[in-house]
Structure 1
Amino acid sequence: MAVFEIYSLPALYRYKSSIWSKASLYVLAMLCLTFIPPLLVAYRSQGFWMTTNTYLEQPDVAYKKQLLFVADLATPGDFFAWSTYANFNNLLQTNLRVPQVTSYELDSNNDGLNDQLSLNISLPLSSTEQVVNVQLIAVFDYKLYRMSTFQMESIVYVAQSSPLSGSSLKVIGDLSLHQRTPLYHRGTDVRYNGSVINSNSYFASDYDIFNILESYSSRNITTRLENSYSIWTPGRIPSQPFLFNMTLKYPTEIITYQPGFWELVKWGWVQYASILLLFLWVFKRINRTVFEGNVFNTVVQQPKVKLVKGF
């Protein structure tokens, strides 16, 4: 009857020696050379520690129905302005011109998050008043939830000027997140949830657009108008108001954050283990050659042979 190999086990040879021997020192040196160099290689390859990581998230954005609108006229020094802040309106005196404002937000995919804002401003003008420059600041509540719970009050700034007086300005763009520093990986982050515009102030400097933008830009995390397109329509029928129309989209953002401890360990282990496998394979072959060749004096314990009865 023909006999076939159906299963096999490797023979185990044990090489024994005293602690203070050349063989023991060799094994200790091989262990160090096997496990320490992969760590150094992984660390020096600039990929061992993950200092930042990214993920995608659509922010929860809500227009707070707070804005500041300034329209400069063709006559130098003349302007009209209006805001949702009573103290600023009181400071304007004769430069106050109340427009008609409408706005609505749209959730196009019914996921519970707003996708865009439509803002329309109609500024009444006399037949001799001509608008050559427009500036607007709109205020938003901006939230993220996936990693840390992040919330801040943010703004978008729109500015457009022309040597020709205009009848309307149309703007379309994205409310985009700008980060100088990564977010936290967990917890609640409300460090930038304070008011961008101090509505309780009675000083005109607190409502100056440059001062507002200068203070806002000092934040490490802000929003800005990006991917924007604007159309300035020159000429205006004397009886018609100046029209400002803005469509602002809330896109999905690439968020940068600081990884937590266990994510760092997991990423570091992947880098280390991929190199360690190669070192284990190489030094396993070296050690087998050394001990099978009796380079060091050791006591060899051979495997016991069991006789199996034939069929």
Structure 2
Amino acid sequence: MVVLEVFTKNLKISYKSTLLSKASVLALIFGILSLVLPFIFAYKSKGLWLKRDAFYEQPDVKFRGEYIFFATTNNNNKSVITCSSLPHFDHVLRSLDSCSIIKVRENDRNFDGKIEELDLSLQVNLPVKTRLTSLSIIIPLSYKLQICPFQMQTAIIFQELLPFYISHYSLVANMVVTQTRPLICHRKHTNTLFNYPVIMDNGDLNNYDINTIIRNFSKRNITTSLKNVYKSFSPGKTQNFLFSLNIEFPEDRIYYKPGFWQILKWAWIQYLSLYIIVSWIIMKIKHYIFSRRLILFFEENPVKKKQ
């Protein structure tokens, strides 16, 4: 004959003692340890409080229609060449402007409303037997994020030394975000802390000094820089030096400071997982102590009561 288990139930055995007895004090200590030890273990592992997190987003980058191009030459009569579309800068240094053609194109390849690529080409007219010895270009841009509402004015900054005659210099790179501290996100408010011009176009020559621009730009908590830079050039003497660049705007990893509920959720998961383990160990210790009657207590057993 086959025997099946059709129903089970547990009997609850209570162990009782007076308020100031050893058993009560021991139960209180075990209760405190089961709550405090998981917190201590999680905190000492240096991962309880989530101090920063990251998300990925392709930024909304727009060309602002402005640029500054600096170059030095081996010609003592014209040792510096500058080109710019900034009104005040062009008015002050118009005599040094030697750029004849500039072409800019923004490409939205997947038609999502965000620019993926910026193409810029610049032609510089040079005197006879003149070569460029160095070049610098600054291209201000508008930068926006949606997941963590953020808006700033940033720039593409590139510098290069040219040790010999070059007729065409080409640059291909990705623009990425560089952060010294995580962003503070507010879902309903846009962070505009750095939404001010990289180049102050007010006619003051000190504001157009490239060393000043780079120094002020580097002091920001969040900046942009070029990564995966590839350079190519065509050697040769020419009176029409051509500089071209192709900049991609890929998906960026943005670090931000988590909110209260996200920190609490992360901490609770760690605390609960440790609490289960600690509570199980303490329960085994308590069972060992009380089952062997190592301390005095009163046992309330329903089975013995019926007998």
Q: TM-score, length-normalised on structure 1?
A: 0.91
Q: Equivalent residue for 2:295?
A: 296
The one of 184, 190, 193 equivalent to 1:191 is 193
**How far, CA to CA, are the matches of 1:205 and 1:295 in structure 2?**
84
Query: 1:94-134 CA deviation, whole Å, 9 max, x = no partner?
Result: 21224311111112222221111011112233434432322
**Equivalent residues in 2 for 1:228-243, closer than 5 Å:** 228-238=229-239, 241-243=240-242
**How far, CA to CA, are the matches of 2:2 and 2:98 in structure 1?**
105
Q: 1:214 to 1:3 in 2, by over 3 A?
A: same
Query: 1:138-184 CA deviation, whole Å, 9 max, x = no partner?
Result: 010011111x2111000111122222122111000011111001011
* Worse-matched range after superposition: 101-110 or 125-134: 125-134
Q: Equivalent residue for 1:46?
A: 46
Quick check: 1:64 aligned with 2:55? no
Q: Equivalent residue for 2:279?
A: 280
C-alpha displacement at 1:49, in angstroms? 1.4
Q: Equivalent residue for 1:81?
A: 82
Query: 1:250-305 CA deviation, whole Å, 9 max, x = no partner?
Result: 01111111111111111112222222211111111121222222333333222369
The AA in structure 1 aligned to 2:150 is: F
Query: 1:3-41 CA deviation, whole Å, 9 max, x = no partner?
Result: 421232221112222222221111001112222122111
Asked if 1 retains the 8 angstrom alpha-carbon contact of 2:99 and 2:122, the reply is: no
Q: Equivalent residue for 1:213?
A: 214
Quick check: 1:175 aligned with 2:183? no
Q: CA RMSD in A?
A: 1.9
Give the number of aligned pairs. Answer: 302
Q: Equivalent residue for 1:115?
A: 116
Q: Equivalent residue for 1:258?
A: 257
Query: 1:44-92 CA deviation, whole Å, 9 max, x = no partner?
Result: 1111111111121111111111100122222246122111112111221
**How far, CA to CA, are the matches of 2:117 and 2:7 in structure 1?**
67
Question: What's the secondary structure of 1:188's corresponding residue?
Answer: coil
C-alpha displacement at 1:193, in angstroms? 0.3
**How far, CA to CA, are the matches of 2:196 and 2:176 in structure 1?**
19
Question: What's the secondary structure of 1:287's corresponding residue?
Answer: helix
Question: What's the secondary structure of 2:267's corresponding residue?
Answer: helix
**How far, CA to CA, are the matches of 1:251 and 1:55 in structure 2?**
14
Question: What's the secondary structure of 1:105's corresponding residue?
Answer: strand
Asked if 1 retains the 8 angstrom alpha-carbon contact of 2:129 and 2:237, the reply is: no
Query: 1:175-219 CA deviation, whole Å, 9 max, x = no partner?
Result: 1111001011324211000111111x2221111111111111111
Asked if 2 retains the 8 angstrom alpha-carbon contact of 1:176 and 1:225, the reply is: yes
Q: 1:93 to 1:5 in 2, by over 3 A?
A: closer
**How far, CA to CA, are the matches of 1:28 and 1:109 in structure 2?**
64
Question: What's the secondary structure of 1:214's corresponding residue?
Answer: helix
Q: Equivalent residue for 1:96?
A: 97
Q: TM-score, length-normalised on structure 2?
A: 0.92
Q: Equivalent residue for 1:222?
A: 223
**How far, CA to CA, are the matches of 2:2 and 2:136 in structure 1?**
95
Asked if 2 retains the 8 angstrom alpha-carbon contact of 1:172 and 1:230, the reply is: yes
Question: What's the secondary structure of 2:203's corresponding residue?
Answer: coil
The AA in structure 2 aligned to 1:78 is: S
Q: 1:126 to 1:5 in 2, by over 3 A?
A: same
Asked if 2 retains the 8 angstrom alpha-carbon contact of 1:138 and 1:155, the reply is: yes
C-alpha displacement at 1:232, in angstroms? 2.9
**How far, CA to CA, are the matches of 1:168 and 1:134 in structure 2?**
12
Q: Equivalent residue for 1:127?
A: 128
The AA in structure 1 aligned to 2:162 is: S
Structure 2, unmatched stretches of 5+, are none
C-alpha displacement at 1:93, in angstroms? 4.0
Asked if 1 retains the 8 angstrom alpha-carbon contact of 2:23 and 2:295, the reply is: yes
Q: Equivalent residue for 2:157?
A: 157
* Worse-matched range after superposition: 226-235 or 132-141: 226-235
Asked if 2 retains the 8 angstrom alpha-carbon contact of 1:18 and 1:24, the reply is: yes
* Worse-matched range after superposition: 210-219 or 33-42: 33-42
Asked if 2 retains the 8 angstrom alpha-carbon contact of 1:74 and 1:165, the reply is: no
Question: What's the secondary structure of 1:10's corresponding residue?
Answer: coil
